[in-house]
Structure 1
Amino acid sequence: MSSFVTPPPPLKSNIVRTFSLGGKFFIILMLALVMSISGFFIESLTTERASIHGVQQASESAPAQPERLFGVELADSYRAIHRSLHYITLFLGLVFLTYFLFEVMTGRSVHPAQYALVGVAQTIFYLLLLSFAEHLGFDLSFLIAGGCTVGLFAINTHWLFHSRKLGMRALGVFTLLYAFIYVLLRVEAYALLVGAVASFFAVAAAMYVTRNVDWYGEGAPVAAATAAGGRDSWLD
């Protein structure tokens, strides 16, 4: 009698795909929450810098103060940065969601470490914003810091997905995202309304883009979408 034992069949790739879609989605959510903790450290740094330059209160409710540095109203800049930090979790979540949708629709896997690097880049954006705002004012500083970060994200998308076309589309998506955050910070009276409505449409867009994705891993997402709708993915 032969002692040879037939090895068990290898796990199907769809099981790995199921984990990468389902499990990774929750990992990304947790990563966004954890990395948003960095906002507390940046907020403390903002308060410290405000104290150094003689601005007693760098908060949203603080009255306008005459302290200036190189002609820049520091109180206004510090208040704007504090307000931007209030939305750091939403901002990180939208950035991660964009990368996740790219990953799902292209079928390429992105390691969670890459998401962590994107989160670090987003945190550095706030440091750039703070450092430039002390000399150039909030508006111009947001343009410079946001432009650098958006460009980095677009190039990183090209590197991760090996697609120049997708990198250009990422440039457009992240430009709109940063423009939305800027508008959200400048319309103080309607900030809650604008943020809530925009978040609703962002979730609705994510639902629409992933409507044909096989979350259980029984088929490739792009192939399932093509078979169901008879069209290629919008990322092709």
Structure 2
Amino acid sequence: MENAQPPLLPPTAQRRRHAVTLKLLFIALLVLVLQLPLALINGLRQERSGNREAAHARRAADVQWTETDPVPAYSPARAAAEGYRMVERSLKHSVLVLTLVFAAFFLFETLAGLRLHAVHYGLVGAALCLFYLALLALGEVLSPGSAYIGAAVASSLLIVGYSISILHSYARAGSIAALLAAEHSVLYVVLRMEDFALLAGTTALFVVLAAVMFFTRNVDWFAQEAGKTEARA
């Protein structure tokens, strides 16, 4: 008795399946490509940090300090050094930040039947990269906390304002705003909790993965109609 051949997917379903796969591959590639400008930002951080340390050393050599002189608890040089360290540590989480934001747009595109172009993802990624550049620039003139808040607000407003147009909904843009607020808040806590950074980051990853599993549990990834999803019974 001949073995029964598995049923073939209709052409529309096959195209839909290939489109989803290609979009996921594109997002992964985009995350990797965006590491190039982030590497340039990190190089700029190292250069400016080295220049500032050299200038501080020259000024310290011109001033004769004694052991009885009080050491200032706060100084612009110390604040800038803390800002540089915050930029360095935040860049280590850039892959996670980019992936989560792109995943949110991909889920909206899949669940709501929207069509987002590669340019849309690229511009959102550019806005996310500007967060790190703004954090570096503001960290030289503000305290690390104020610099982080300013950079996060500026980048988030840029992305949310753009999301209103490409997602065609204030509610969806509000969801992106909530995601960015939660993401930057968790990242700030992780950056400040040096002793428990790994634990906090791992916990956040579990929460994010659980949320993605929950919201996509009924998605039919083999939906036959392009741009639509069907709930399993």
CA distance in 1, matches of 2:17, 2:117: 15
Partner residue, 2:191: 185
Q: What's the offset of the Cα at 1:126?
A: 0.7
| Structure 1 unaligned residues grouped into runs of 5+ | 1-10, 57-64, 229-236
Partner residue, 1:37: 36
Residues 150 and 171 in structure 1, CA contact (< 8 A), matched pair in contact too: yes
Partner residue, 2:16: 17
- Residue of structure 2 aligned with 1:164, choices 165, 170, 182: 170
CA distance in 2, matches of 1:35, 1:205: 25
Residues 125 and 149 in structure 1, CA contact (< 8 A), matched pair in contact too: yes
Q: What's the offset of the Cα at 1:23?
A: 1.9
Cα distance 1:213–1:132, how it changes in 2: closer, same or farther (>3 A)?
same
Cα distance 1:55–1:158, how it changes in 2: closer, same or farther (>3 A)?
farther
What are the within-5 Å matches in structure 2 for residues 210-225 of structure 1?
210-219=216-225, 224-225=230-231
CA distance in 1, matches of 2:227, 2:205: 25
SS at match of 1:224: coil
| Structure 2 unaligned residues grouped into runs of 5+ | 1-9, 56-71
Cα distance 1:219–1:154, how it changes in 2: closer, same or farther (>3 A)?
same
CA distance in 2, matches of 1:205, 1:36: 26
Partner residue, 1:131: 137
Residues 55 and 75 in structure 1, CA contact (< 8 A), matched pair in contact too: no
CA distance in 2, matches of 1:74, 1:23: 43
Residues 152 and 184 in structure 2, CA contact (< 8 A), matched pair in contact too: yes
CA distance in 2, matches of 1:223, 1:127: 38
- Give RMSD over aligned pairs: 2.4
- Residue of structure 1 aligned with 2:210, choices 193, 204, 211: 204
Confirm whether residue 100 of structure 1 aligns to residue 106 of structure 2: yes
CA distance in 1, matches of 2:98, 2:15: 26
**Normalising to structure 2: TM-score of the pair?**
0.80
Runs of 4+ in 1 over 6 A off after TM superposition: none
Residues 55 and 67 in structure 1, CA contact (< 8 A), matched pair in contact too: no
- Range with greater deviation from structure 2 (122-131 or 207-216): 207-216
Partner residue, 2:48: 49
Deviations 1:35-62 (A, max 9, x none): 1232221111001111221269xxxxxx
Q: What's the offset of the Cα at 1:67?
A: 9.2
Q: What's the offset of the Cα at 1:100?
A: 1.1
Cα distance 1:110–1:158, how it changes in 2: closer, same or farther (>3 A)?
same
SS at match of 1:188: coil
Q: State how many pairs are aligned.
A: 208
Deviations 1:94-141 (A, max 9, x none): 111111111111110111221111111111111111101100121101
**Normalising to structure 1: TM-score of the pair?**
0.79
Q: What's the offset of the Cα at 1:201?
A: 2.0
Higher relative contact order (CA 8 A, sep 6+): 2
Q: Which has the larger radius of gyration?
A: 2
